């Protein structure tokens, strides 16, 4: 009898164990409320509750193209200076994404969405276009996709808080620069009437609104400061007026001159046309002025010592050859001064040759022939070449090779202003 009981007990325990395993490892979401009964050796009943494995799936939303918004001032493109995120990073609203730089200021771009960065459209130092995608963000399904303008946070906006909030549900069209101006002057954009396209608020609208609020009103003149003239003052003023009328001389009539000149129009030709083209091109580059004084006592002594040797070579040695050679030595130390940029301002070319031009006043006008490869010439060679150009210039025989290919220019105006020599790059 005991043997049968032990065998039945063993079979029952094996059966209950199999049922326990099947119920514990079942598909997600199925949960049995029926308890399992297990017989122990001491014939006591224990109630066991089946456990189930639980996993949470994060639901993703749509992938949104985060576009670079208009940052104001008519800027159409910017340079990406630094990325604060990379692909796969999680971002929240108002988190910094990257820093871009225009030709006027640096701007920090912040996120409008909660999600994961899926794609970066630009590398560092690449040019990003306004209105084009900047990054792709995979938004979360429980986050609201806000279809508005991208948030552009300037350094000043990052340090200050908005003191006013716009009317909820009303979208005010204004550039970040206009919003910043309104914020600095504590002006609600909802109170400003926009005069731009589609009601866009312009900078002038903010200034006009501010002028109306802070318009200066002249205070009234105090009563005690108002003086009424007495009888004596009135009589004196009347006598003075009558005297001035009596001594007033009658106007004299003069014959009007008749101008018979006529405008004369003639076409630009030759050097005059080239001068206009050159001067117009010169205005396209930045200009700056600098004046300094240098002690040339040792140069004066050196020139006097070299004059006899120059005379034997038939060369007139002035101070200009020394200045030209000094410029060439300076260009060796600072090659950026002997460089040029292409029309698109995308590449810079460092010139190997020092073709230094010298402005000359000739019968044909102001011409700028240049001395080729000054870096290879001595002071005597420079003086000899300079004399040759001066002779050809006085005769009007300067060739195309003499007038083209210059990389740096000197203009000696010592006869007008002895303390300056103009440099043109």
Domains in the chain, CATH or no CATH each = 2-48 (no CATH), 60-156 (2.40.50.100), 160-210 (4.10.320.10), 272-424 (3.30.559.10)
What is the pLDDT at residue 20?
56
Q: What's the mean pLDDT when you consider all of the chain?
A: 73
Share of the chain above pLDDT 70, in %: 62
Confidence grade of residue 19 (pLDDT, cut at 50, 70, 90): low
Confidence grade of residue 325 (pLDDT, cut at 50, 70, 90): very high
Instruction: Give yes or no for residue 313 having a pLDDT over 60.
Output: yes
Out of 123-137, 177-191, 207-221, 385-399, pick the least confident: 207-221
Instruction: Give yes or no for residue 199 having a pLDDT over 70.
Output: yes
The C-alpha atoms of residue 72 and residue 103 are separated, in whole angstroms, by 12
The C-alpha atoms of residue 421 and residue 121 are separated, in whole angstroms, by 50
- Give the mean pLDDT of 328-353: 91
- Give the mean pLDDT of 144-163: 42
Instruction: Give yes or no for residue 129 having a pLDDT over 70.
Output: yes
Which of 70-79, 83-92, 221-230, 411-420 has the highest mean predicted lDDT (pLDDT)?
83-92
Instruction: Give the tens place of pLDDT for each residue, 27-63.
Output: 444 444 444 444 444 444 444 444 444 444 445 678 8
What is the pLDDT at residue 51?
45
- Give the mean pLDDT of 261-282: 74
Instruction: Give yes or no for residue 224 having a pLDDT over 50.
Output: no
pTM of the predicted structure, to 2 decimals? 0.39
What is the pLDDT at residue 28?
46
Instruction: Give the tens place of pLDDT for each residue, 22-32.
Output: 555 454 444 44
Out of 21-25, 249-253, 351-355, pick the least confident: 21-25
What is the pLDDT at residue 423?
53
What is the pLDDT at residue 261?
76
What is the pLDDT at residue 392?
87
Out of 122-126, 214-218, 287-291, pick the least confident: 214-218
């Amino acid at each position: 009898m005991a043997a049968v009981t032990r065998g039945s007990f063993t079979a029952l325990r094996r059966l209950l164990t199999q049922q326990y395993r099947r119920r514990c490892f079942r598909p997600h979401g199925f949960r049995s409320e029926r308890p399992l009964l297990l017989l122990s050796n001491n014939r006591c009943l224990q109630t066991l509750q089946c456990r189930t494995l639980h996993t949470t799936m994060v639901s993703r939303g749509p992938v949104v193209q985060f576009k670079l918004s208009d940052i104001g001032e008519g800027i159409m493109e910017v340079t990406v200076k630094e990325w604060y995120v990379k692909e796969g990073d999680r971002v929240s609203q108002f988190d910094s994404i990257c820093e871009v730089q225009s030709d006027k200021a640096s701007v920090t771009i912040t996120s409008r969405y909660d999600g994961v960065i899926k794609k970066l459209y630009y590398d560092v130092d690449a040019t990003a276009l306004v209105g084009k995608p900047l990054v792709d963000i995979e938004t979360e399904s429980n986050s609201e996709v806000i279809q508005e303008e991208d948030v552009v946070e300037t350094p000043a906006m990052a340090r200050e808080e908005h003191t006013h909030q716009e009317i909820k549900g009303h979208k005010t069209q204004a550039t970040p620069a206009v919003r910043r101006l309104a914020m600095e002057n504590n002006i609600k954009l909802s109170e400003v009437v926009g005069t731009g396209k589609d009601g866009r608020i312009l900078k002038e609208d903010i200034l006009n609104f501010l002028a109306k609020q802070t318009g200066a009103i002249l205070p009234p003149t105090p009563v005690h400061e108002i003086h009424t003239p007495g009888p004596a003052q009135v009589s004196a003023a009347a006598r003075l007026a009558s005297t001035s009328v009596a001594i007033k001389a009658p106007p004299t009539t003069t014959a009007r001159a008749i101008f018979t000149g006529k405008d004369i129009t003639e076409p630009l030709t030759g050097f005059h046309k080239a001068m206009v083209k050159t001067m117009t091109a010169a205005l396209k580059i930045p200009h700056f002025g600098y004046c300094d004084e240098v002690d040339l006592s040792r140069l004066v002594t050196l020139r006097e010592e070299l004059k006899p040797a120059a005379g034997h070579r038939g060369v007139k040695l002035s101070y200009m050859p020394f200045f030209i050679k000094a410029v060439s030595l300076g260009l060796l130390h600072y090659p950026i001064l002997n460089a040029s940029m292409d029309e698109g301002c995308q590449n810079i070319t460092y010139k190997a040759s020092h073709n230094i031009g010298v402005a000359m006043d000739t019968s044909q006008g102001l011409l700028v022939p240049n001395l080729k490869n000054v870096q290879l010439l001595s002071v005597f060679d420079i003086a000899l070449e300079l004399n040759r150009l001066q002779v050809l210039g006085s005769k009007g025989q300067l060739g195309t090779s003499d007038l083209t290919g210059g990389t740096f220019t000197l203009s000696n105006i010592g006869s007008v202003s002895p303390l300056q020599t103009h440099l043109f790059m």
